Structure 1
Amino acid sequence: MTLISLILMVFTSVFGFGNIPTAYYLMGYGAIPWYVLSALLFFIPYAFMMAEFGAAFKTEKGGIYSWMSKSVGPKFAFIGTFMWFASYVIYMVSTSNKIWIPFSTAIFGADQTQTWSFFGLSSTQTIGLLAVAWMAFVTFFASKGLEKISKISSIGGIAIMCLNLALLLVSIVILFLNGGKLAEPITSIHSFTHSPNTSYGTPLAVLSFVVFAIFAYGGIEAVGGLVDQTENAEKTFPKGIAISALIISIGYSIGIFVSGISAHWSTDLSLSTTNLGNITYVLMNNLGFKLGTALGIDVSTAKEIGTWFARITGLSMFLAYSGSFFTLIYSPLKTIIQGTPKTLWPKSWTKESANGMPVNAMWVQFAVVSIIVLMVSFGGDSASAFFNKITLMTNVAMTLPILFLALAFPKFKKNNAIEKPFVVYKSNKTGLIASYTVVILVGFANIFTIIQPAFSGDIGSTLYMIAGPIFFTIAALLIYNRGERKKDIEQNKAA
């Protein structure tokens, strides 16, 4: 790949449209410095680590398990890999619930999920049951080997790229029609350091936002496999990553800034029905409405334009969620089962159907996800608190595997037995500094995210975010120790 091809590959793998509305909703313009800081202190050093790992173990089939196992040891590697898999379990918990918001928006033009009720159940309980039904539907069809359905995601991906352009271009048109006036005015440097959201008015809450900024750069593990495909990798790859980080952070910053052209935080985004699950559709609805009013169109027609902006956004996000879900329902599961020693798993889980799907393991996964979904949805929260809680759970879960890989990197650097065809960090010391920088940033961001709700009186969210990692760590240890005992028994029999 050339430099331009590498930059495009990294950009499409990492940049996520949904991160822009989330950032603006939580921090306003104050999100911009944190996104830039995360690019410098997390994205660049971590991407270089993944590149060195990927180049050194490009022939290994075990993925990150092989990386950590050969660098640190099999137990550490399995716990880290299991946490990586667990992050996708939590992601499925979140997405199986959230997918009904774009579904509702695509049909009704707005998020109606907070009014849904089956058999006298609350809206969150109803959504929980729908999430279980969705999991069952996807598991059943994916287990039949209908992976082609995942191609829906490519259509959704194109549509979401168009949403990025729509946000930018329509915002510029609104700015021009309004004579350069921003809906969310910039009064001073204070606008870029403080949040209009009262929930993020304390230093602790602001620091907890860092996990959202880190999550926005997720997906960079994939760049580890691009080194050997890059032309003149020693020079091109570091340059490509640095330029990608610059472009992505600027892209996010511009997206957050232009959100303020049409959306005044206190007026447009502070309704009790707005939450982390539906903020994207609320923002795009508002964008369409403000375009109509800027053009001098009557209010009812402007509202209709906003509704259609929301509908198109909902359809785009629903297609993207659906396509990715059909892949995620089996891909991480298949990777962890095939990439780790088979002695760790019950034989029925490793058994694959004629179409190559680990069907039994997929239904076990369905049961685990469904139990978590029902526990959270029947926990007694309002709809907004419910969606905020599962978003926080997802962010923490998806960033934890980063800690394992970053902690394994210094051991990898010191292990001279591992051939390293591509090196960015020329000395063990620079590798150690990069590792500690990432670990400290991600570690503290997660700690602040976990404890912040408790300081606000929401102990339940804190307990859920703590319980997830503890549960999956214990599960990983039990699976690993069982596998070790099984291996010892087999070796004794052979002897």
Structure 2
Amino acid sequence: MKSNTKQLSLLTVLLMTFTSTFAFDNTSIAYYTMGYAGIIWYVLAAILFFIPSSLMFAEYGSSLRNEAGGVFSWLANSFNIKWAFIGGFVWLASWVILIVSTVSKIWIMLSTTISGFDNTGTWRLFGLSSTATIGIFSIVFFFLVTLIATRGLGKVAKLASIGGIAAVALTVVFCLASLILLFLDGFKLASPVSLPNSFIVSPRSSYQSPSQIISFLIFAVYAYAGIEALGGVSDKMKNARRNFPLAMALGAILITAIYGFFIFLWGASANWNSVFKGTGVNLGNTTYVLMSNLGAKLGQQLQLSAAGIKTLSLLFSRFGSFTMLLSYLGSFFVIVYMQIKSFILGTPKKLWPAALPKLNKYGMPANAMWLQAIIVAVLIVLTSFGGKTATGFYNVLTLMDNLSSTLPYLFLVTAFPFFKANNRIDHSFMIFKNRPTYLAIVIVVDALLLLGVGATLSSAIIAGSYGELFLEFLGPILFGVIGYVLFKLYLRRMKQVPVKATID
């Protein structure tokens, strides 16, 4: 019986592109950071990064679909095993830092769900500061999640689907509430538009210099992070040569349009100066503050009483935090093991100490997952016991997350011409056929990524934020060094193999 592997339709892959890339809180962070000016950067990031890189990953995934190492296999077949291991470890670092950022922000969601607003800044445990208290909670929580995950997934998939439904519900409620508010207010924006400045200049005083504005590219590129995971489905599509690039292109246009539209919609309810200036808003609680404000503005337009307005405001903030909490929890158990399982089991076992790739009775790489838990705990201690305020703490975590998620793409994009030149690979599925064209695209995408990273570096130096800068680069550099050291150990082991084989 002949199996049919081409089951995915254009619509299915289009939806997969959307669900793996779009994140609602990216829109609130963009509005908080740049106001309406965030729209143009999201559009530029899509044109210069999202579309071309997603098509590159489509070729990677199609040609190397039978190899289990994912990103490691892509780099190994483009450069060599040394750079595959270093680049793969930097990619692994992005996931670890994502965990550090996510597990710490869960407490904002929980606090807002319970009380209606973020009061994590008042949390105290054993006389410690609020950030240290959150750090302890995060470490305990992550160890608990690791303990559960090492015993198999169980019903986590069902929880993940509930989280997905919650994320869709949040998106729909926000959109409808904002449009109703606009209609009731005679289509008058809470944040007036002044052309062209509103769409070019950030209202934030710390985002006025060219380097500071360009550093927002890190946020914009991060908004499209995760697209490399879709490269592996290209060979499973009907008429993949036409449909996969089309799905990627349509997905990019749709996601970019929604990002831009939602950033603009925040201006319907939130006057930037009154909501953000002189308040305790940070990159971690922006979404819930804006949702609370949206509920209050809607209550005013509906002419509710003062108590009714307050109730609606709390309802919106709690709904936003609760749906985000469900969404994060639904995916958390997956990101605890997904990248570890893919990377550890997809790379040569000789690269690792014998115990690391070993599976437990549930088929999970438990030793590697516990090592990850220890590294996460160390990073949480470094970020939460540094004496920062809650605002500074969450800002650093978000910047660490964004930067570490951007750097791996430098490896993947730069590797593409070498991948194309490898004649041992099956290149029957090709999107980029003209060498000068894809070389030019690689240069443009790399330049964009380097520009964003360089601007982040420059802004931190100018502001004298050397501690934050150290933490932002700590993860990728540390993991890159670890990757290089383990590769050297691998070479030493491999030199011993021929000798043993000869004796045998």
Report if TM-score (shorter chain) is over 0.5.
Answer: yes
**Counterpart of 1:18 in 2: which secondary structure?**
helix
1:417 aligns with 2:424: yes
**Counterpart of 1:329 in 2: which secondary structure?**
helix
2:225 to 218, 228, 238: 218
Counterpart residue number, 2:435: 428
Map Cα deviations across residues 67-116 of structure 1 (whole Å, 9 max, x no partner). Answer: 11112110011111111111111111111111111011111111111110
Counterpart residue number, 1:449: 456
Q: Could you tell me which amino acid in structure 2 is paired with residue 47 of structure 1? A: S
Deviation at 1:150, TM superposition (A): 4.5
Contact 1:147 1:327 (8 Å CA) reproduced: no
* TM-score, reference length from structure 2: 0.96
Task: After TM superposition, list the pairs within 5 Å mapping 1:197-208 onto structure 2.
Answer: 197-208=204-215
2:472 to 459, 465, 477: 465
2:216 to 164, 185, 209: 209
Residue ranges of structure 2 left out of the alignment (5+ in a row): 1-7
Range with bigger deviation, 451-460 or 75-84: 451-460
Deviation at 1:152, TM superposition (A): 1.6
1:314 aligns with 2:321: yes
1:105 to 72, 95, 112: 112
2:272 to 262, 265, 270: 265
Map Cα deviations across residues 393-436 of structure 1 (whole Å, 9 max, x no partner). Answer: 01111111111110110001122222112111112222211211
Distance 2:71 2:319 in 1: 37
1:394 to 364, 388, 401: 401
Deviation at 1:310, TM superposition (A): 1.0
Map Cα deviations across residues 294-342 of structure 1 (whole Å, 9 max, x no partner). Answer: 1111223112111111111111111121121111111111111101110
Q: Could you tell me which amino acid in structure 1 is paired with residue 329 of structure 2? A: S
Q: Could you tell me which amino acid in structure 1 is paired with residue 328 of structure 2? A: Y
Contact 2:67 2:346 (8 Å CA) reproduced: no
1:175 to 166, 169, 182: 182
Counterpart residue number, 1:14: 21
Map Cα deviations across residues 429-468 of structure 1 (whole Å, 9 max, x no partner). Answer: 2221121121111122112123312312322111212332
Distance 2:458 2:363 in 1: 42
Contact 2:14 2:248 (8 Å CA) reproduced: yes
Distance 2:480 2:225 in 1: 22
Counterpart residue number, 1:133: 140
Q: Could you tell me which amino acid in structure 1 is paired with residue 257 of structure 2? A: I
Contact 1:337 1:350 (8 Å CA) reproduced: yes
Deviation at 1:123, TM superposition (A): 0.6
Counterpart residue number, 1:52: 59
Map Cα deviations across residues 339-381 of structure 1 (whole Å, 9 max, x no partner). Answer: 1110111111111111111112211111111011001111111
**Counterpart of 2:320 in 1: which secondary structure?**
helix
Contact 2:68 2:342 (8 Å CA) reproduced: no
Counterpart residue number, 1:481: 488
2:50 to 43, 53, 61: 43
Aligned-residue CA RMSD (Å): 1.3
**Counterpart of 2:373 in 1: which secondary structure?**
helix
Q: Could you tell me which amino acid in structure 2 is paired with residue 298 of structure 1? A: S
Counterpart residue number, 1:404: 411
Q: Could you tell me which amino acid in structure 1 is paired with residue 73 of structure 2? A: S
Distance 2:202 2:179 in 1: 23
* TM-score, reference length from structure 1: 0.98
Map Cα deviations across residues 167-211 of structure 1 (whole Å, 9 max, x no partner). Answer: 211111111111111000002111000111112122111100001
Counterpart residue number, 2:378: 371
Counterpart residue number, 1:71: 78
Distance 2:188 2:222 in 1: 32
Range with bigger deviation, 6-15 or 379-388: 6-15
Residue ranges of structure 1 left out of the alignment (5+ in a row): none
Distance 1:227 1:143 in 2: 31
Deviation at 1:237, TM superposition (A): 2.0
Deviation at 1:52, TM superposition (A): 0.7
**Counterpart of 1:420 in 2: which secondary structure?**
coil
**Counterpart of 1:7 in 2: which secondary structure?**
helix
Q: Could you tell me which amino acid in structure 2 is paired with residue 142 of structure 1? A: A
**Counterpart of 1:126 in 2: which secondary structure?**
helix
1:359 aligns with 2:374: no
Distance 1:319 1:18 in 2: 14
Contact 2:404 2:473 (8 Å CA) reproduced: no
Distance 1:189 1:348 in 2: 60
